[in-house]
Structure 1
Amino acid sequence: MAVERRTLIHDGPGGRFEGVFAWDSAHPGPRPGVLVIPNILGQKEEDNAKAEALAALGYASFAGDVYGQGKRTQRGPEASRYMDEMNADRALLRDRLDASLSALKAQPEVDAAKTAAIGFCFGGKCVLDMARSGLDILGGVSFHGVYDRPDYDNVSPIRTKLLICHGWDDPLGKPETVVALGQELTQSGADWQIHAYGNAGHAFTDASMRGSTIPGVAYEERADRRSWQAMQNFLSEVFA
């Protein structure tokens, strides 16, 4: 195994975008591709590490960027600055996600007919929006995502298979919100599953949130480990 990475810069709606592409160079020929969509903070090393972990599983992966080159934030009062802009224009967000997906599909190591997306927090919402809008992915995995619907209609049927990994104590995803998501996806004809993890809240995969004192927002090792395994099983089925 020889996992490598390269910086990938591409054009998209509103500017240029920069992420990191990872693949196993010891593996010959194209293989399924997985887009990694970051959380509220935007593209960062943690996302690149996820892309490398996916490459080690035999995929090619692109830790993408929907904010724009150089647009990154840190935790604090300004953390949601760029996310707020995207939440205010979900159609633009959709188009930027499509540009990231196109950049992934264009890589010679990727089988463009076999792609999926995973996302964390805001990135989990992005995965759902990709499915809702009919972007060309076979599967999507949302980790502690946000479930509010965009201001455009879902395609029907939703052809993207979906796995939603949810922390039951997530203050951003109350039980009634999770039920509403299931109803929405059923009405749209999606093949979906929701895994809810007890004693876990928002950001349960984010190791930088160990010891967090924010109610309902913290890293949780069991949910992190179990959801990553669930993702592996899901991708194996999607790409079979």
Structure 2
Amino acid sequence: MAIVRQTMVYDGPGGPFEGVFAYDDEVETARPGVMVVPNVLGQKESDSITAENIAKLGYVGFVADVFGQGRRKTFTSENPAEYMNELNADRGLLRDRLKASLDVLKGFQLVDPARTAVYGYCFGGKCALDVARAGLDVLGVVSFHGVYDKPDYTGVTPIKAKVLVCHGWEDPIAPPDAMVALGKELSEGEADWQIHAYGTAGHAFTDIDRKGVPPTRPGVAYEERADRRSWKAASDFLAELFG
């Protein structure tokens, strides 16, 4: 098995955009596709590694770009949340960019367009939930330590995409009452949903780039057990979706 990467420049509202595919080049038949939506910083090496790990499960991984080609940040940038805040202020535009990225995934020659899902991390977790809320055509979404505020447009009912939320109980950005409100929202939307809460974890618990680095704020840190357990939960979720 040889996992390869392929960069893809594609169009969309406010584009161009640049994403990354990962797949096993020895498999010639169409397989399920999983779109990865990065955190506040945009596409980076750790996201491409996530796509590769998805490919090792037998799927095609695709790191989406919702900020625009070349629009990337680091935590040492002057304003690391700049591009995220632009989309937080225009959730309709975010929805449309997510749709454009999904279209690229579904149109990739190695992907079965009827079997797709979305993984999202932090801000990307919000994006994954918005995919379900907007009724975009996927079988399921997974939010890892996401942000749960609702968009300003009316979502669909019923929510057809199955939803898995992997949540750090100590997350200061999404405290327990926000998690409960999300569960209520998903229930009102008639979704098939589940929330896994990890008692020792806060925000960014999968962010391997933070491993061994002192937290910049309380409750925001890598947590190995939650990372490992959430990956297993999400992998089982995909197996159920695509089985």
* Smaller-chain TM-score bracket: over 0.9
CA distance in 1, matches of 2:176, 2:232: 24
Give the distance between the partners of 1:106 and 1:177, measured in 2 at CA.
35
RMSD across aligned positions (CA): 0.7
1:58 equivalent to 2:61? Answer no
Distance in 2 between the 1:207 and 1:60 partners? 22
**How far is 1:209 from its partner?**
1.3
Alignment of 1:155-234 (within 5 A): 155-210=156-211, 211-213=213-215, 214-234=217-237
Q: What is the TM-score with the length of structure 1 in the denominator?
A: 0.99
Alignment partner of 1:44 is 2:47: no
Identify the residue that residue 242 of structure 2 maps to in structure 1.
Answer: 239
Unaligned runs of 5+ in 2: none
Superposed CA deviations along residues 137-159 of structure 1, whole A, max 9, x for unmatched, are 10100000000000011100000
What are the residue-to-residue correspondences of 1:78-227 with 2, within 5 Å? 78-210=79-211, 211-213=213-215, 214-227=217-230
Q: How far did 1:199 drift?
A: 1.0
Tell me, in whole angstroms, the C-alpha distance in 2 between the residues paired with 1:25 and 1:209. Answer: 31
Cα distance in structure 2, aligned partners of 1:212 and 1:78: 20
TM-score by length of 2: 0.97
* Aligned-partner residue type, residue 184 of structure 1: E
Three-state SS of the structure 2 residue aligned to 1:237 is: helix
Q: Secondary structure at the match of 1:9?
A: strand
Alpha-carbon distance, 1:28 to partner: 2.3
SS of alignment partner, residue 146 of structure 1: coil
Residue by residue over 1:199-225, the C-alpha shift from the partner in whole angstroms, topping out at 9 and shown as x without a partner, is: 100000001112332200000000000
Partner of 1:6: 6
Please identify runs of 4+ aligned residues in structure 1 that moved more than 6 A.
Answer: none
Q: Percent identity?
A: 60
CA deviations over 1:94-147 (Å, ceiling 9, x no partner): 000000000011111000010000010000000000000000010100000000
User: Which sits farther off after the overlay, 203-212 or 60-69?
Assistant: 203-212
SS in 2 for 1:8: strand
Q: Give unmatched runs, 5+ long, in structure 1.
A: none
Task: Tell me what 2:33 maps to.
Answer: 33
Deviations 1:41-88 (A, max 9, x none): 001111111001100110011111000000001104411000000000
